[in-house]
Amino acid sequence: MAIGTVRRFGFGILPILAMFIVLLVSLSLMSDATHNSERFGEHYSWLLLINALGLVVLGALVVANIIWLLGQQRKKAAGIQLTTRMVVMFVVLAVAPVSVVYYFSLQFLHRGIDSWFDVRIEEALGDALDLGRTALDVRLRDVLHLTEQMADEVSESPSATLSLNLYDLRVRSGAAEITLLGSDGRILASSSADPTDIVPSQPTGEMLQILHSGRHYIGLDPVGDTGLYARALVPVQSSRQDSEVYTLQTLFPVSERMGMLADSVQSAFVHYRELAYLRTPLKFSYTLTLSIVLVLSLLAAIWMAFYSARRLVAPVRDLAEATRAVAEGDYSKRLPVASKDELGFLVRSFNDMTRRLSRARDAAQKSRHQVESQRAYLEAVLANLSSGVIGLDSDSVIRAVNTAARQNLGVDIKPYLGKKLADVGEDHAFLTPLIDVIASKRSGGKQAWQAEVTLFGINGHQILICRGASLKGVDLRRGSQIIVFDDVTALIQAQRDAAWGEVARRLAHEIKNPLTPIQLSAERLRRRYIDTMDKDDVEVLDRATRTIVNQVEAMKKMVNAFNEYARAPKISLEPIKLNMLVNEVLDLYRGNNVNAAIRTCLEAECDNVEGDTGRIRQLLHNLVKNALEAVHELDDAQVKLSTRCGGELDSRYIELCVDDNGPGFREHVLENLFEPYVSTKPRGSGLGLAIVKKIVEEHGGMIAAETSPEGGARIRIRLLVSAVAVGGEGGEGSGLRNSTRPSRDAGL
Amino acid sequence: MHAQTALVDRSAVLDISARLRRFLLCLLVTLCMALPVPLPAETGHGAFEVVAARTEKGEDGYLLSAQLDIRLSAGAQEALENGIPLVIEFQIQALETHVWLWDEVIEEIRHARQISYHALSRTYVVRDIKTGRQQNFRSLQDALLMAGFMQELPVLDYQLLEDDKNYVMRLRGSLDIESLPTPVRLLAYVSSAWDMDSEWHKWQLAR
């Protein structure tokens, strides 16, 4: 608070102006006191002190300002260089003329004081004084003569009438006072013209000494304000017996005219002598006053220089600070418009500029918000799409990806944003078919394309419909594409199942229903006519009807088998050890009139799968039976079942291969091998491999048929390895599986 | 008693104020000596000294008789001869003494006499400022002797005294610088030639 008060006091204009005025008044009084010591003379020393204190205060203010300036310079405050320059300029502008005026004033002052004095005037005044003395001497001699005469008269006078005689003498002679003194200085008698003057004026020892030396005393006596008196002392020889020597003292006023003239000469002379004596002290005191005025002016000018510089630079400093703030991004800065001059105009322009900048920034922010919200909207749309979306730029770098892509592919693509699509393939080999398709289609240069891709990955067997389109009207380089892919595995499966279901229903309705009347009719024909016919005809009839019945029976079986294929049984998944199941199934065939050598090579350690035991068993039976049927005519018939593990950590599978050394598959058969009613065997139903494929697909597996290098047929089945071992924590494992493949089970 | 205390305070304040002012001015003028004006060289130191002082019992109170030896410095004498009147001031104090405390001023009297030179009559005029009585002397010595002489000046009323207390009188004489013309005053503040104050002369008040 004290600092604040000092600061306010130090930097406010009003207190300083008040102090200037006080100091100026004090200086003028001091100057007056130097001239005329009667008016302010007694306060001169106080005035001098007040001025000195004022100077000290001003000096302290200036020093404080200089310290402030240095501090600001050290801090490199805004506008301080300009302030310093202005202060220096103002100070130089003030100091130079004031110093010149001071120098010449001093010169004039000293010469002026010196010019008061002239030797001739001094001599003239001395002469006038001598003249006065000479003129008065005449009067003094008259007074002495008169006093001597009076002394004679007094010596004759008797003691009793002494006072009366003195009175008589005084009135006659016109003296102001006559006193008779004894030899010891006692007043014997006295008479005075002034009745209030009770005590007569006594002679000094010096006068009496002159008298004692035998001389008469005569001299001028200045008496207070009443003027000059001539004093005479004459011894009186008493005629009386005591022979005592008395002294007669007379005081005669100098005539009024002469007294006035003498007084005038005396005062002029004294005044001149006094002035001459005071010449040097006067110079000193005038110089002191002038110097105080100089110092006061200089300090005031310096302070004003600081004050003005600060006031002038303040808007510039504010502007500099505000500009710095704007440069740092703060557009809210507004400066107060203090003046209407060019600086005020500048400040107004600055305020306009920041206002516009602020508005522009707000608009930019608003549009950015809009863009962001649109982007967020787009992302939300993409995220809620069931189709996977991947954006690629011209260098096949992934620029965008949605969450459905992860669900569809089973791989989180987001970490690969900014990386090449091929990098995903390196880390996840099962995606290679998709990546290859995309690469080949992009290199084809079409604006839009579509392809079906089959993957075998984390989600098992997958069929993806991929669509690519070049991005137009987007600020990207040419060649950017958006890839949209849908997992249609379940859809295709469902369509196929539905188609076969419809076929089965129709078969049942259109074929199976007439079969029973046909069979019954054939049996009735046989029964009715067998007894009435001759032996040859009977044989024909019997054979014909039996054929009809057998064929109808065969057709019934066929329809039932097909119906069984087409219906969609619910599978119940459980952990299975595949190797063990294979051995169990093979045990039924070994040594049971089987002429083929059945070998196994069950090496897979990862044989834990989740599946329906009955369906998998049926799958194995079908495959083994198929293989045995393919080789039953060979001498060295061989059937081999082998398992092995494959895939990566997150998509491990077990591969089951069933090899035989039969004739293998012909090329045109291979394309439709797994479709119903496709068979290489003359008596085959054509449903064996179709059912196998169906079971594999129900388990999310993959099946392939090929001709082995040795020339035989080879069926390869891949099933996903369960994360949980058989007999382990099956609940948790199945839960995990269900969560990763929810749609597959439902679809099947 | 109250009157006495007030007197003590006022005199103390006057004394301190005068001393402070004198010190500050002395400092200021010393600093100003750097100004480009040659000041008159001071020669011949003067001094005041109380050579004798005593109090006698009068009708209503004590009467002071004293002799102050006044030796003017050359500067002061020159000023006097050039028509500048000098004022000699006597400061007379009555103190009540205490064993453990400061002495207390119970009465103070200032008495002043002016010496001036009358050129026409070539006399030195000594005037008592209070009474206005004046005496003229042909020689300066006589004038100074007269100016420093006091006879039976009433200084202390009996009523101010209490029986069981001890009192001391003291006297000093000085040249009143404040009565000098302003230009001379500046010099007088700093020049030792104008500092002719006597020491305090102290004596026991005879009861």
pLDDT in tens, A365-382: 999 999 999 988 888 888
Residue B164 lies in a domain: yes
Helix orientation angle between A13-35 and A256-327, rounded to the nearest 10 degrees: 160
Question: How many angstroms away from the CA of A315 is the closest CA of chain B?
Answer: 42
Residue B28 lies in a domain: no
B25 to chain A: which residues are within 8 Å by CB? 45, 48-49
DSSP H/E element including A564: helix A535-566
Helix orientation angle between A688-698 and A613-631, rounded to the nearest 10 degrees: 150
| A353-365: pLDDT as tens digits | 889 988 998 999 9
Cross-strand partners of B127: B114, B134
B136 to chain A: which residues are within 8 Å by CB? 204, 221-222
B136 touches chain A (CB under 8 A): yes
Average pLDDT score over chain A: 81
Residues of the domain holding B44: 35-204
Q: Which of A394-408, B39-53, B125-139 has the lowest mean pLDDT?
A: B39-53
Higher pLDDT, B33 or A678: A678
CA dist A598 and A72 (Å) reads 102
Average pLDDT score over chain B: 81
Sequence-separated (6 or more) residues with CB below 8 Å from residue B177: B185, B188, B189, B194
- Provide the pLDDT confidence category of residue B65 given band limits of 50, 70 and 90: very high
- Provide the pLDDT confidence category of residue B144 given band limits of 50, 70 and 90: very high
Question: How many angstroms away from the CA of A7 is the closest CA of chain B?
Answer: 28
Question: How many angstroms away from the CA of B33 is the closest CA of chain A?
Answer: 9
Sequence-separated (6 or more) residues with CB below 8 Å from residue A300: A20, A58
| A511-545: pLDDT as tens digits | 778 888 888 888 888 888 888 888 888 888 888 88
> What is the DSSP-derived secondary structure letter of residue A420?
B
pLDDT of B14 above 60: no
- What average pLDDT does this structure show over A288-312? 84
pLDDT at position A748: 26
| A179-190: pLDDT as tens digits | 888 877 788 888
- Provide the pLDDT confidence category of residue B10 given band limits of 50, 70 and 90: very low
Residue B10 lies in a domain: no
B182 to chain A: which residues are within 8 Å by CB? 33-34, 37, 41, 44, 285
A415-440 exposure pattern, b = at least 16 Cβ within 10 A, e = fewer: ebeeeebebbbeebebbebbbebbee
- Provide the pLDDT confidence category of residue B68 given band limits of 50, 70 and 90: very high
| A330-354: pLDDT as tens digits | 888 788 877 778 888 888 888 898 8
B41 touches chain A (CB under 8 A): no
Q: Which of A162-166, A608-612, A676-680 has the lowest mean pLDDT?
A: A676-680
Q: A356 vs A292, A325, A333, A336, A344, CA distance in Å? A: 56, 15, 12, 17, 18
- Provide the pLDDT confidence category of residue B43 given band limits of 50, 70 and 90: low
Question: pTM here?
Answer: 0.52
pLDDT at position B178: 84
Answer positive or negative: Cα dihedral of A591, A592, A597, A603. negative
Task: Return the percentage of chain A with pLDDT > 90, whole number.
Answer: 4
- What average pLDDT does this structure show over A433-438? 87
- A-B Cβ pairs (cutoff 8 Å, strict): 120
pLDDT of A75 above 90: no
CA dist A238 and A460 (Å) reads 175
DSSP H/E element including A347: helix A342-384
- Provide the pLDDT confidence category of residue A34 given band limits of 50, 70 and 90: low
CA dist A58 and A69 (Å) reads 16
Instruction: Nearest by CB to A287, from B35, B123, B138: name it.
Output: B35
Is B54 strand, coil or helix? Answer: strand
| B145-202: pLDDT as tens digits | 999 999 888 888 888 888 888 899 999 999 998 888 888 887 787 777 788 889 999 9
Q: Copy the structure tokens of residue A264.
A: 């005038």
Residue B155 lies in a domain: yes
- Provide the pLDDT confidence category of residue A165 given band limits of 50, 70 and 90: confident
Residue B12 lies in a domain: no
A449 residue type, one letter: W
CA dist B57 and A168 (Å) reads 42
A285 to chain B: which residues are within 8 Å by CB? 182-183, 186
Higher pLDDT, A509 or B114: B114
| A79-116: pLDDT as tens digits | 788 888 888 988 888 888 888 988 999 899 888 888 88
pLDDT of A22 above 60: yes
Return the residue matching tokens 């204009």.
A13
pLDDT at position A225: 66
CA dist A62 and A296 (Å) reads 11
CA dist A643 and A493 (Å) reads 26
Asked if residue A725 lies in contact with residue A608, where contact means CB atoms within 8 angstroms, the answer is yes
| A697-734: pLDDT as tens digits | 888 888 888 888 888 889 989 888 877 554 443 333 33
Q: Copy the structure tokens of residue B193.
A: 């030639």
- Provide the pLDDT confidence category of residue A35 given band limits of 50, 70 and 90: low
pLDDT at position A442: 82
Shortest CA distance from A230: residue in chain B: B121
Instruction: Nearest by CB to A276, from B82, B136, B182: name it.
Output: B82
Q: Terminus-to-terminus CA distance in chain B, angstroms?
A: 20
Nearest to A249 by CA among A263, A275, A230, A268: A230
CA angle A678, A462, A606 (to 5 degrees): 95
Q: A431 vs A274, A387, A411, A434, A437, CA distance in Å? A: 125, 17, 9, 5, 10
A271 to chain B: which residues are within 8 Å by CB? 83
pLDDT at position A37: 53
Question: How many angstroms away from the CA of B83 is the closest CA of chain A?
Answer: 5
- What average pLDDT does this structure show over B18-24? 64
Residue B88 lies in a domain: yes
Q: Which of A7-21, A590-604, B148-162 has the lowest mean pLDDT?
A: A7-21
Residue B137 lies in a domain: yes
Pairing mode, if any, of strands A713-720 and A651-660?
antiparallel
- What average pLDDT does this structure show over A281-293? 83
Task: Provide the CB-side half-sphere exposure for B168 (13 A, CA).
Answer: 15
Q: Copy the structure tokens of residue B11.
A: 């005199």
Instruction: Nearest by CB to A221, from B40, B121, B185: name it.
Output: B121
Task: Provide the CB-side half-sphere exposure for B51 (13 A, CA).
Answer: 11
pLDDT of A738 above 80: no
Q: How many domains does chain B fold into?
A: 1
How many CB atoms sit inside 10 A of residue B180's CB?
24
pLDDT at position A1: 41
> Within chain A, what is the greatest distance between any pair of CA atoms?
244
- Provide the pLDDT confidence category of residue B23 given band limits of 50, 70 and 90: low
pLDDT at position A422: 87
Residue B21 lies in a domain: no
Return the residue matching tokens 């993957």.
A455
pLDDT at position A744: 33
